[in-house]
Amino acid sequence: MNASKTLQTKCDEKKITPNHIPAKGWKGGFIEKHPELQYKDGVADLTSLPLTDNLDNVEKIKRQQRVLWPEFTWLTKHGEPDSRCFQMFAPDVSRAGYDNTGQNWAVICPQQGTYIPGFGTINVEVTVAQQRGWVNESDKTLAIDMIIKPKIWFSRDANQSALGKIIWGAFELANIFHHLPVSKDQAIKLDTSSTIKMPGVDNPEVIFVRDKLYTPNGLDNLPAFTLHNNVAWNYANVEVVIGEVVKTGDDFVDEFNQLVMNLFNLGSGNLLEVDSTLAWNVWVDAPTKVNQTEWRNHADYWRRSIDVNHCSPDGNGSPVRYANGTEFSVEKELIDDALQAIWDFIKSHI
């Protein structure tokens, strides 16, 4: 029995319509004026561009490429290639936003959740703190650097089980004295780093979005169900090494946060396991024009839908699957044990 479900599998089916023809208005010219930023021997060095805060220049964004097919992959067990799983997150969880010349000014990154019936949703948001880069529609290339800050917190299920009600009651009591991850403002934070060593980049937090597809070691080809050549306009890839949970300085909260991460990783197949590599191939539809108000509100729109409806607003993603197509599952008893561990911890401190 699969005890946890991603939000996408719980929602009613809804599909966003891909755009197949680039919107009018593309001028280009940015990358042509900056040859130092272009690919050389497969490497694009962006260090001469300053990193800018992700939401400081939204008024400059005129065009966007929407990630309608975000294909993620990771090992559910360290060092075991056969344990590799794949999952397409819900459409339009990520976007690149740039001006008509091709300079990139902002990135929207993924939001996701693992829904545990009777308890609630463990939410994940990859917040982009800073970015720099370029997009060239003329030859379908891009290069973007970004610094990301994953955050994890949970929201309650409207139809709580008896154990869920007890646990949430304890959360509310403990939260009077400690900042538990029961809201985005009090979220668990993770360190991340890049798998790639880029010349001139000393900050390990800088993550690289680059051309081509990511193919895991040990696989000659990506599974057919992860490919979208027949519908996507273009693609790129990203790789991130998952780091430790950031300490809060409160021993109670730090131990509690680790129990929450244990529960999340159990339900998601170790999606955010320490020292694992999380990679995704970002398949985009053709460039569209940007509504800047909608862009600013996009993350809140998603968050409301996930918090309130446990639902991804623009359609369903896929279940977690192994390369042969078999679905990943976790026994309900294991989820119950992880919930019990959280309850036992809270009970021993109140």
Q: What is the pLDDT of residues 108-164, one digit of tens each?
A: 886 666 777 777 778 888 888 999 999 999 999 999 999 988 889 887 766 677 777
Q: Can you give the pLDDT at residue 197? A: 78
All residues at 6 or more sequence positions from 206 whose CB lies less than 8 Å from its CB, including other chains: 51, 145, 146, 147, 194, 198
Q: Can you give the pLDDT at residue 121? A: 78
Q: Can you give the pLDDT at residue 135? A: 98
User: How many domains is the chain built from?
Assistant: 1
Q: Can you give the pLDDT at residue 165? A: 79
Q: Can you give the pLDDT at residue 285? A: 97
Would the pTM count as exceeding 0.85? yes
Q: Can you give the pLDDT at residue 3? A: 38
Q: What is the pLDDT of residues 42-60, one digit of tens each?
A: 999 999 999 999 989 999 9
Q: Can you give the pLDDT at residue 5? A: 44
Long-range contacts of 159-167 (CB under 8 A, 24+ apart): 159/117, 159/118, 160/118, 160/119, 160/120, 161/117, 161/118, 161/119, 163/118, 163/119, 163/336, 163/339, 163/340, 163/343, 164/118, 164/119, 164/120, 166/343, 167/119, 167/339, 167/342, 167/343, 167/346
Q: Can you give the pLDDT at residue 309? A: 47
Integer-rounded Cα Rg, in Å, for the chain is 20
Residue indicated by tokens 């999380």: 278
User: In which residue ranges of the chain is pLDDT below 50?
Assistant: 1-10, 305-310, 313-314
Q: Can you give the pLDDT at residue 9? A: 41
The whole domain housing 49 covers 5-347
For residue 154, give the nearest of 182, 173, 175 by alpha carbon: 182
